[in-house]
């Protein structure tokens, strides 16, 4: 049965209730039940209205019952504490021990029927803020029901006061320091004016209506006037845009009266000249009784700074356009969320589609080359833990096709106020071709260096042989000719003997010179060609003893270009010398065969073999063969194994004979 909540008379109530009760029942109890029901509904309505009212309050509002548990909480309190605290104890919801101690002490005093109010610092919402705290007992004079609390956020005001106090302290310090200096000479207003005129900032003073009382020369120039006296009595609005006039009324004056300080950047309109951007610090000047008296201002021309900011913005825009147009991939790692963004250009460089790669550092790490993964992750960890803002590093990443590409990474780290890395952005550029070129260049450099070493070794060998052979023969012959000259008149027989000895030495020197010439470039090459020269080489090696040497030749060409003939000869000479000197083989074969437009050279032994990759330094024969084959555009194959002999096989193209003229 539902009872009507509107006021009704007793007779009406009886009429409404009669069908539901025994006619003999006392209708007075039913009427009492109706009134009780109405009271309950009104109570619920009142509670709803009360809750709506306190939820509209712009500050925290709460109530605590006699059992120490929260019975009331408004929306602001719930948002700050991020929880519904109804029915809970303060100990269950307080974020830290410091705040809890204050809460419990204030609650204790309020439960002792004391009204508690004052400024406190709480950590509601995870941030320390300042509040004006009021806690009052709930009582009707006789009964005590609990306590009510209000926390009004005054953080911004406190910070403004601190900023104002800091500015005030700094200003006072400057004034005291300057005043101490000025008081040594004169403490009157004239000294202050000299100080103001010497200032590089615009200094001025006005009343609350904006009438100018004082300006220094610097401020007079900013306003476009020649002398400070020309501004006295004028209103500051004459040198300000129209919107500043209303701003002064609505913002500047209230802020000065409230905080005592106001700072902003705006524009002034000089009497003659273009609008000038300025920064303005305005402060309240009080009289001896502490009442607002004047307004002081420090105004600075920030034209150059604004131009620098505009140039910086243009530079940033140019940089962004340059990055977009560059052939590099951009990445952006939000360290706090762990998300790693790869630009479409980055994915294109490495061959990945839109959904082929994830968005985490782990996804990037999986692309690292196995040889570089550990040190790269350690390097990244150390860099982010350091203080350096930028980094450039080269390493390899896996392309979608499975190959690894060399990239150069340029990165910039963004750090928070505590210096902890929170963001890491940068670019990847593909430098695989450059790396390959550098590797090839390094190999070429090493090859050229070894060739230079071999050439220098060959020159040294020839020099030693000339010194120990040809030069000695010629020196001895010279001494014998000198002896002949001195003995010719007195001892003809001795002179003749010296002459014959000298001639023999000259013949030996001639023979030695022909040998040296033959080693540098055997004359037989120029006379009969490379095929005959190789035969002579084998013949000469046989005369020196050693293993049995067989020589086979099957070529159709006649003469080849001189450079090719000399190279073929030197290749056979080096391979044959190594086989006879180091292989300990009893047999060596040398063959030269023409295969179309190629010449195949083979020198084979059945000796101890060797490792081509571990030839000791100072042995240039094998390297000389490699370089000559490379320069001729040929191919070198070395087949060898311990105790299995060695086959040196060279295939070089036959070059067309060039005319010397």
Query: Superfamily for 159-307?
Result: PAS domain (3.30.450.20)
Q: Are the C-beta atoms of 1 and 20 separated by less than 8 Å?
A: yes
Taking the C-alpha atoms of residue 420 and residue 384, their distance in angstroms, rounded to an integer, is 8
Q: Are the C-beta atoms of 655 and 560 separated by less than 8 Å?
A: yes
Taking the C-alpha atoms of residue 324 and residue 318, their distance in angstroms, rounded to an integer, is 10
Taking the C-alpha atoms of residue 578 and residue 648, their distance in angstroms, rounded to an integer, is 10
- Architecture per CATH, domain 57-153, reads as 2-Layer Sandwich (3.30)
Q: What is the pLDDT of residue 187?
A: 55
Considering just the CA atoms, what is the radius of gyration of the chain in Å?
A: 52
Q: Are the C-beta atoms of 317 and 309 separated by less than 8 Å?
A: no
Taking the C-alpha atoms of residue 212 and residue 231, their distance in angstroms, rounded to an integer, is 7
Identify each DSSP E strand in 269-348 by its residue range. 276-286, 292-301, 329-334, 339-342
> Residue 561 has which token pair?
């270009």
Q: Are the C-beta atoms of 283 and 260 separated by less than 8 Å?
A: yes
Q: What is the distance of C-alpha 204 from the center of its chain?
A: 47
Fold of 341-428: Beta-Lactamase (3.30.450)
> Residue 300 has which token pair?
């600075």
C-alpha dihedral over 62, 65, 67, 71, to 10 degrees?
Answer: -50
3-state secondary structure of 369: coil
Contacts of 178 (CB under 8 A, 6+ apart): 195
Q: Are the C-beta atoms of 422 and 332 separated by less than 8 Å?
A: no
Q: What is the pLDDT of residue 486?
A: 85
Q: What is the pLDDT of residue 618?
A: 47
For every residue of 539-584, which 3-state class applies, written as one string? HHHHHCCCCEEEEEEECCCCCCCHHHHHHHHHHHHHHHHHHHHHCC
Taking the C-alpha atoms of residue 132 and residue 262, their distance in angstroms, rounded to an integer, is 24
> Residue 281 has which token pair?
């610090």
Q: Are the C-beta atoms of 327 and 429 separated by less than 8 Å?
A: yes
| Consecutive 10-residue averages of pLDDT for the chain (661 residues) | 43 53 57 81 82 83 90 85 86 86 90 90 76 89 89 86 85 78 54 68 89 89 89 89 86 90 90 87 86 89 89 78 67 89 85 86 91 91 88 91 91 88 88 85 66 58 67 82 84 85 82 66 76 86 86 88 83 88 89 91 90 60 79 86 87 64 36
Q: What is the pTM of this model?
A: 0.33
Question: Phi, psi at residue 404, to the nearest 5°?
Answer: -110, 135
Taking the C-alpha atoms of residue 308 and residue 289, their distance in angstroms, rounded to an integer, is 45
3-state secondary structure of 119: strand
Fold of 528-661: Heat Shock Protein 90 (3.30.565)
Q: What is the pLDDT of residue 212?
A: 92
Q: Where are the domains of the chain?
A: 57-153, 159-307, 341-428, 431-520, 528-661
Same fold, 57-153 and 341-428: yes
3-state secondary structure of 3: coil
Taking the C-alpha atoms of residue 409 and residue 537, their distance in angstroms, rounded to an integer, is 58
């Amino acid at each position: 049965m539902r009872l009507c909540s509107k006021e009704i008379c007793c007779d009406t109530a009886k009429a409404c209730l009669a069908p539901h009760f025994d006619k003999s029942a006392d209708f007075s109890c039913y009427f009492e039940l109706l009134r009780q029901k109405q009271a309950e509904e009104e109570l619920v309505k009142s509670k709803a209205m009360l809750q709506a009212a306190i939820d509209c309050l712009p500050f925290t509002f709460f109530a605590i019952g006699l059992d120490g548990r929260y019975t009331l909480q408004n929306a602001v309190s719930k948002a700050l504490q991020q929880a519904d605290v109804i029915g809970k104890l303060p100990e269950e919801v307080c974020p830290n021990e410091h705040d809890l101690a204050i809460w419990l002490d204030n609650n204790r005093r309020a439960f002792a029927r004391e009204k508690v109010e004052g400024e406190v610092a709480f950590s509601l919402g995870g941030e320390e803020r300042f509040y004006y705290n009021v806690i009052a007992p709930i009582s009707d004079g006789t009964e005590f029901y609990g306590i009510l609390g209000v926390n009004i956020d005054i953080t911004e005001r406190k910070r403004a006061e601190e900023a104002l106090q800091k500015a005030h302290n700094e200003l006072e310090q400057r004034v005291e320091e300057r005043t101490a200096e000025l008081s040594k000479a004169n403490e009157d207003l004239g000294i202050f004016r000299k100080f103001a005129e010497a200032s590089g900032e615009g200094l001025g003073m006005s009343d609350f209506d904006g009438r100018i009382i004082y300006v220094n020369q610097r401020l007079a120039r900013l306003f476009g006037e020649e002398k400070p006296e020309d501004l006295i009595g004028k209103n500051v609005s004459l040198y300000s845009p129209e919107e500043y006039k209303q701003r002064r009324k609505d913002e500047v004056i209230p802020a000065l009266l409230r905080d005592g300080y106001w700072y902003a950047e705006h524009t002034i309109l000089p009497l003659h000249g273009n609008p000038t951007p300025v920064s303005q610090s305005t402060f309240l000047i009080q009289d001896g009784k502490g009442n607002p008296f004047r307004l002081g201002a420090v105004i600075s021309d920030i034209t150059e700074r604004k131009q620098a900011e505009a140039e910086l913005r243009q530079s940033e825009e140019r940089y962004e356009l340059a990055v977009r147009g560059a052939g590099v991939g951009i990445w952006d790692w939000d360290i706090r969320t762990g998300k790693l963004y790869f630009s479409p250009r980055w994915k294109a460089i490495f061959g990945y589609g839109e959904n082929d790669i994830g968005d985490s550092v782990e996804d990037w790490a999986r692309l690292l080359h196995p040889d570089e993964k550990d040190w790269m992750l350690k390097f990244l960890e150390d860099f982010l833990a350091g203080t350096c803002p930028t980094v450039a590093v080269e390493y390899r990443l896996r392309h979608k096709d499975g190959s690894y590409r060399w990239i150069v990474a340029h990165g910039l780290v963004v750090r928070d106020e505590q210096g902890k890395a929170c963001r890491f952005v940068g670019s990847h550029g593909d430098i695989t071709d450059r790396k390959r070129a550098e590797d090839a260049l390094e190999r070429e450099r090493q090859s050229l260096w070894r060739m230079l070493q071999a050439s220098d070794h060959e020159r040294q060998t020839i020099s030693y042989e000339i010194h120990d052979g040809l030069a000695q023969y010629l020196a001895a012959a010279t001494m014998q000719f000198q002896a002949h000259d001195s003995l010719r008149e007195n001892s003809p027989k001795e002179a003749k003997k010296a002459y014959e000895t000298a001639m023999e030495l000259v013949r030996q020197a001639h023979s030695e010179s022909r040998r040296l010439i033959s080693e540098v470039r055997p004359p037989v090459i120029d006379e009969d060609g490379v095929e005959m020269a190789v035969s002579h080489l084998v013949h000469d090696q046989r005369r020196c003893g050693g293993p049995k040497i067989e020589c086979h030749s099957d070529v159709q060409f006649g003469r080849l270009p001189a450079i090719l003939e000399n190279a073929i000869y030197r290749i056979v000479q080096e391979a044959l010398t190594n086989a006879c000197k180091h292989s300990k083989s009893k047999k060596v074969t040398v063959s030269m065969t023409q295969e179309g437009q190629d010449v195949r050279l083979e020198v084979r032994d059945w000796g101890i073999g060797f490792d081509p990759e571990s030839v000791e330094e100072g042995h240039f024969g094998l390297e000389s063969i490699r370089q000559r084959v490379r320069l001729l555009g040929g191919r070198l194959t070395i087949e060898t194994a311990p105790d299995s002999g060695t086959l040196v096989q060279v295939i070089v193209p036959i070059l067309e004979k060039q005319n010397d003229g």
